[in-house]
Homo-oligomer: A and B are copies of this chain.
Amino acid sequence: MKPKIGVMIVGMSGATANTAIVGAIAGSEKEKTLGSIISTQEFKDINFISDRQIVFGGWDIVNKNAYAAALDYEIIPESIVKKQRRKLTNLYPLPGISTNYDVSETKSSDHCIQTDNLKSAIDKIKNDIDDFRARERIKTCIVVYLGPPLKQVDRDFSQVHKDDLEKMILDNSSYITSAMIYAIGSIKSNCGFIDFTPNITLEVPGIIELAEEYKVPVAGRDGNTGQSLMKTVIGDMFRIRNFKLEGWYSTNILGNNDGLVLSRSEHRKLKMQDKLGVIDPIVGYNDFEHVVDISYYMPRGDNKESWDNIDFLGWLGLSICMKINWIGRDSILAAPLVLDLIKHLYHSISNEQSGIQEHLAMYFKHPLACGVLPFTQAYEKLKTHYGICSDEEER
């Protein structure tokens, strides 16, 4: 019998998390392969776990069962959601934790614990994971961070090693974010950890050292879903075709909670950094104008829309212009990537690989360790990891 794998999601009532959970449980096997990289022919010989092996749980400040949340979101068609009404109705989030960098909705929620004692907060996460493991009789557990973008922390963590980090926790340092607490608690509970958001967690050296110590694999940062994906694809074409980028203007309109939070300047900084950072490493220069706007626009709901205007120079320095209008449900783009990542991480666990899983670069806007790669190079990197020969060789 195939083993059960526990997956605990931070922000499990959010749109992407709820979509991933509900789709994994109620979606048809065939339609769930769409948008999933590891469901292509190329990966057919790799032994990934199936959605059915996953047992979901997690935390959220919104205390709503997965069924109710899915009906409210109206992202997955009702006819699919209703297929697993009972199972979904029983899926409730545990109360979350917060610190000063959280969005105001989190801090004011009564399904959230704001603690001044960091150690006890970490212990809560560990206890929650232990309880979940015990209740579900599960050994292996992976935690996925899908909470809203936090405020940027006014402190450089790039030299904060394990000892400093432990000290900061004991000192109840006000610079520690809730995302870091989730990461630390998860790792100390021997869980793999994925950060699908632009927050600073796995970039803290001390946290990676912890992952190495506890021998758990981690992956991040910031899921590469629509607009940034296109930038790694088209930026690479520009590099190869030798078009000189003059300017790239991107605007995003969305009306879900993510849009609301990102419309607040203090919460958009990290996201912006990630969004603004994807082109330079690919084209190899930065003397072009890069503007990214995100607007909260209610009528769109989760159906995010982006418009890009790209100006570049061709032969003899003459102008060429391309505009891209992308209309797609954010959560539908993100959910299969989240599930892919869970399966990759379990594969790593099974193969006793720990620390940053660099081969997962193509899933992230800001891939840890290796940095942004052109889309197809990132893809080759993934295939190489699994010993899949490149398309070129195959032919």
Contact = CB atoms under 8 A, between A and B. Distances in A.
Interface of A: 23, 27-28, 31-37, 39-40, 76-77, 80, 229-230, 233-234, 236-237, 239-244, 246-247, 249, 251, 253, 288-289, 291, 293, 295-300, 305, 307, 309, 311, 313-329, 332-333, 335-336, 370, 374-377, 379-381, 384, 390-392, 395
Contacts of A33: 242
A272 B268 CA distance: 22
A30 to B, nearest CB: 8
User: Which residue among A319, A332, A374 has the maximum number of chain B CB atoms within 10 Å of its CB?
Assistant: A332
A279 to B, nearest CB: 14
A297 B293 contact: no
Contacts of A392: 377, 380-381, 384, 390
A377 B229 CA distance: 18
A309 B327 CA distance: 11
A34 B243 contact: yes
Contacts of A237: 229-230, 233, 375
Given A40-B240, A320-B327, A336 B307 contact: no
A260 to B, nearest CB: 12
Nearest to A41: B284
B249 A297 contact: yes
Given A31-B316, A314-B332, 13 more contacts: A32-B315, A34-B244, A34-B315, A236-B376, A240-B379, A242-B336, A297-B309, A314-B333, A314-B336, A318-B329, A323-B325, A374-B391, A377-B395
B291 A314 contact: no
A28 B315 CA distance: 10
A320 B304 CA distance: 10
A44 to B, nearest CB: 12
Contacts of A295: 249, 251, 291, 293
Nearest to A38: B242
Contacts of A335: 315
Contacts of A322: 324-328
A327 B333 contact: no
A146 to B, nearest CB: 15
Given A293-B251, A298-B289, A34 B377 contact: no
A321 B328 contact: yes
Given A40-B242, A240-B379, A34 B324 contact: no
Contacts of A236: 376
Contacts of A247: 297-300
Given A291-B297, A323-B324, A316 B375 contact: no
Nearest to A322: B326
B234 A34 contact: no
A320 B298 contact: no
Contact of A321 (B240, B327, B381): B327
